[in-house]
A and B are shown apart, each in its own frame.
Chain A
């Protein structure tokens, strides 16, 4: 990911600790205390970090979390198998609760947990039995976890010792190290705690095992996390983390400027303003995010059934102007749906703006100056700006476009088969999907099985579906890279997609705070620290 910052950040604490852990392991040191003495100095008593999160927590159960905010908080509350590096340009996961892991072969991964990771309450120490329970729990079809696919090829976990085990897969599984183990599905919890909670929980975890624990939660008001005294794996520099749910980024920006917040993500349209003019005492960082934004063209709609008509629309759109308008210059056009830092990222689009060719194709399809379409968007200033440019672009080739704006609840039902035949009426639409750092997350929504669910384009390509399955189990990075590139070629070739941009992420922080951010700008709050001096 490309990170642009107003200040140069030094060596990240995590990479330092990671190096220390490696050296420690090499020297045969067991247990945790090696990290504690080196990092104890950064634990500041009485320190509070006040940060904006875009929503309130809704479920902290690793099997049933629903939003990125849930994941951010889960990261603070529970020990994860692996954790992504922060303040790095690439997504790389390092062992966390797992002291080490090793591929015995493509389907057997041996792991060893750190000793001494304690659960709060009477749930004792983390063991390999807990890892077995936690991973198999999410994979169990009976639980019906939405994250079952994170463990799609898990056969079972074999416990070989108190802290050691082997993850046994039925087939190789490429996202295991990129998203499953470093993600929420890699959280390890004790069976007894989950059973005491009745099999699942929402916002009141039965125990904690991470750097922080919940001190107080006032719904929609604030979540206060306090340092977990049982956590010794890494430091937890702030004594308390105050996470304030503020949906509207503009409100958060005002709150930051007024000094009420130490950290906040800002709106895309405010990125150029803060790049040009930073408030006193603030630092600004910009990241090219993973989330992707595109215009969909529904081939199931009668007027768009002809591929030449869809191609004409693709060729008429001036992607750079659309992206400039929607992000106020904050983003650049994308060449696909897989961000540049991930494997499978393409370097160029197959089709770019060509007004004359667009007109010719419309003429050939008998649609010259006779096509009236709608573009459906969620009601935001960014979407409206993009839609207006597209409207003007298409008018140039003789296509009249009406912009239909919807609030989010209605918008997200437009392409759903469950809501009747309205998904066939959908024509053009602007969409933004969130993403995890593995290319499979980008492409999984466009398989034939997803038509009428999340594949609103009606994009129906058997080769794409086969590649999606094959790429999941392909562990040769080069081959996998080629597969995802081919999949994006197929998407664009179909005439169903106009790739717009990866949504940039802008974050503001007080210059008294040392942030810890993933390559896509997502905060890892428990690694934030007060700057000394």
Chain B
């Protein structure tokens, strides 16, 4: 298990390095001068040259990449091309809001998704299964930003139950403002979770150990919760790991529509203004988060699944 962990960890580090290199190449390939965007129309050639020198933009791509990794090892992600503030501070100030949003969305997706998945499998072909199936497909097919706008119009403008914009201050205010964005991002995932769990439960129901449990006369509830679900949730955990990455990238819609701060909006604005240090820093932090979540999901699956655990220990 330790060796498995080490291998996965090294692979994760490699992924992060490759992502940063790819990002550097991509951002510098797109047209647009960060100095001109940052300094505005009154920038003169001397000022542009000074800006480029200050940001290291006058150096070759390879030198910039090397300097970035050297700084990274010292915990320095550079400085915001426009405000001059440390990138790490800016990214870390935005990250919690996106993290809360993603966690809220996971909660929105997970609780109803698991309940619907179990009920659909348990009452396969019944009315709950059919309703769940129709609902899942409908919600999955609507883009998150459309859901977001309708949620805003109904619950903020018409009913006035929830604030429309901002992340709030203090626990309850933050929670209050998290409800609609979390719903907007998480709703589509209810269907995924429910369908995956349903399929997985049904597959597991036909396994030999479940038939044996039935033969021993165990109750259906006990079989479901003690024997079937423990294995059936494993594919869901893997999908959820990938889903968190998907939610991170979709967060930009929720952040723009709900006027929330966050990583998505930060990187979107930074791309528009060619603020490369912020783009690189944000993507780096997001990639590390995504890789860590997936590493955690894989390790959890390995730990929960006796078969994988057994294979790894051999």
Which residues on A are within 8 Å of B, measured CB to CB? 57-59, 66-67, 144, 146-147, 149, 202-203, 218-222, 244, 246-248, 251-252, 254-255, 257-261, 407-410, 412-413, 416, 418-419, 433, 445, 454
Residues of chain B lying within 8 A (CB to CB) of residue A254: 152-153, 156-157, 164-165
Residues of chain A lying within 8 A (CB to CB) of residue B89: 219
Q: Is the CB of B33 within 8 A of A413?
A: yes
**B307 interfacial contact with A, CB 8 Å:** no
Q: Kindly state the separation between the CA atoms of A257 and B50 in the bound complex, as whole angstroms.
A: 44
Q: Is the CB of A144 within 8 A of B50?
A: yes
Q: A59-B82, A260-B164 are in contact. Are A247 and B269 (CB under 8 A)?
A: yes
Q: Kindly state the separation between the CA atoms of A413 and B47 in the bound complex, as whole angstroms.
A: 17
Q: Can you list 28 A-B contacts (CB < 8 A)?
A: A144-B46, A144-B47, A144-B50, A146-B40, A146-B42, A202-B83, A220-B90, A220-B94, A220-B266, A221-B261, A248-B256, A251-B164, A251-B258, A252-B165, A254-B156, A254-B164, A254-B165, A255-B166, A258-B157, A258-B164, A407-B271, A409-B272, A410-B32, A413-B36, A416-B33, A416-B36, A418-B33, A419-B31
Q: Is the CB of A66 within 8 A of B82?
A: yes
Q: Is the CB of A244 within 8 A of B163?
A: no
Minimum CB–CB distance for B210 against chain A, Å: 51
Minimum CB–CB distance for A394 against chain B, Å: 26
Q: Per a CB cutoff under 8 Å, which of B32, B156, B157, B265 touches A412?
A: B32
Q: Per a CB cutoff under 8 Å, which of B32, B40, B85 touches A203?
A: B85
**B44 interfacial contact with A, CB 8 Å:** yes
Residues of chain B lying within 8 A (CB to CB) of residue A246: 165, 259
Count of A-B residue pairs with CB < 8 Å = 128
**B84 interfacial contact with A, CB 8 Å:** yes
Residue in B32, B40, B257, B266 with the greatest tally of chain A CB atoms within 10 Å: B32
Closest to A257 in B: B157
Residues of chain A lying within 8 A (CB to CB) of residue B11: none
Interface residues in B126-176 by Cβ distance below 8 A to A read: 152-153, 156-157, 160, 163-167
Q: Is the CB of A258 within 8 A of B160?
A: yes
Closest to A224 in B: B169
**B37 interfacial contact with A, CB 8 Å:** yes
Residues of chain B lying within 8 A (CB to CB) of residue A416: 33, 36
Q: Is the CB of B30 within 8 A of A257?
A: no
Q: Per a CB cutoff under 8 Å, which of A66, A248, A261, A407 touches B38?
A: A66
Residues of chain A lying within 8 A (CB to CB) of residue B246: none
Minimum CB–CB distance for A128 against chain B, Å: 27
Q: Kindly state the separation between the CA atoms of A244 and B265 in the bound complex, as whole angstroms.
A: 14
Q: Is the CB of A219 within 8 A of B38?
A: no
Q: Kindly state the separation between the CA atoms of A219 and B265 in the bound complex, as whole angstroms.
A: 12
Q: Is the CB of A251 within 8 A of B256?
A: yes
Residues of chain A lying within 8 A (CB to CB) of residue B160: 258-259
Closest to B91 in A: A219
Q: Is the CB of B82 within 8 A of A244?
A: no
Q: Kindly state the separation between the CA atoms of A244 and B39 in the bound complex, as whole angstroms.
A: 23
Closest to A261 in B: B165
Residues of chain A lying within 8 A (CB to CB) of residue B94: 219-221
Minimum CB–CB distance for B244 against chain A, Å: 22
Closest to B47 in A: A144
Q: Which 10 A-B residue pairs are closest in the complex by CB-CB distance?
A: A258-B164, A255-B165, A409-B32, A146-B42, A221-B261, A258-B156, A202-B84, A246-B259, A58-B82, A220-B261
Q: Kindly state the separation between the CA atoms of A29 and B163 in the bound complex, as whole angstroms.
A: 50
Minimum CB–CB distance for B269 against chain A, Å: 7
Residues of chain B lying within 8 A (CB to CB) of residue A149: 42
Q: Kindly state the separation between the CA atoms of A58 and B30 in the bound complex, as whole angstroms.
A: 23
**B93 interfacial contact with A, CB 8 Å:** yes
Q: A219-B93, A246-B259, A247-B256 are in contact. Are A202 and B85 (CB under 8 A)?
A: yes
Minimum CB–CB distance for A508 against chain B, Å: 14
Minimum CB–CB distance for B21 against chain A, Å: 22
Minimum CB–CB distance for A52 against chain B, Å: 8
**B75 interfacial contact with A, CB 8 Å:** no
Residues of chain B lying within 8 A (CB to CB) of residue A445: 41
Residues of chain A lying within 8 A (CB to CB) of residue B273: 409
Residues of chain B lying within 8 A (CB to CB) of residue A220: 90, 93-94, 261, 265-266, 269
Residues of chain B lying within 8 A (CB to CB) of residue A57: 83
Q: Kindly state the separation between the CA atoms of A257 and B160 in the bound complex, as whole angstroms.
A: 10
Q: A66-B39, A144-B50, A219-B93 are in contact. Are A248 and B259 (CB under 8 A)?
A: yes
Q: A218-B261, A219-B93 are in contact. Are A203 and B152 (CB under 8 A)?
A: no
Residues of chain A lying within 8 A (CB to CB) of residue B83: 57-59, 202-203, 219
Q: Kindly state the separation between the CA atoms of A416 and B84 in the bound complex, as whole angstroms.
A: 25
Q: Is the CB of B42 within 8 A of A409?
A: no
Q: Is the CB of A147 within 8 A of B36?
A: no
Q: Kindly state the separation between the CA atoms of A58 and B32 in the bound complex, as whole angstroms.
A: 19
Q: Is the CB of B44 within 8 A of A260?
A: no
Q: Is the CB of B38 within 8 A of A409?
A: no
Residue in B82, B94, B160, B271 with the greatest tally of chain A CB atoms within 10 Å: B82
**B43 interfacial contact with A, CB 8 Å:** yes
Q: Per a CB cutoff under 8 Å, which of B32, B164, B167 touches A413?
A: B32
**B198 interfacial contact with A, CB 8 Å:** no
Residues of chain B lying within 8 A (CB to CB) of residue A260: 163-166
Residues of chain B lying within 8 A (CB to CB) of residue A259: 160, 163
Minimum CB–CB distance for A333 against chain B, Å: 24
Residues of chain A lying within 8 A (CB to CB) of residue B157: 254, 257-258
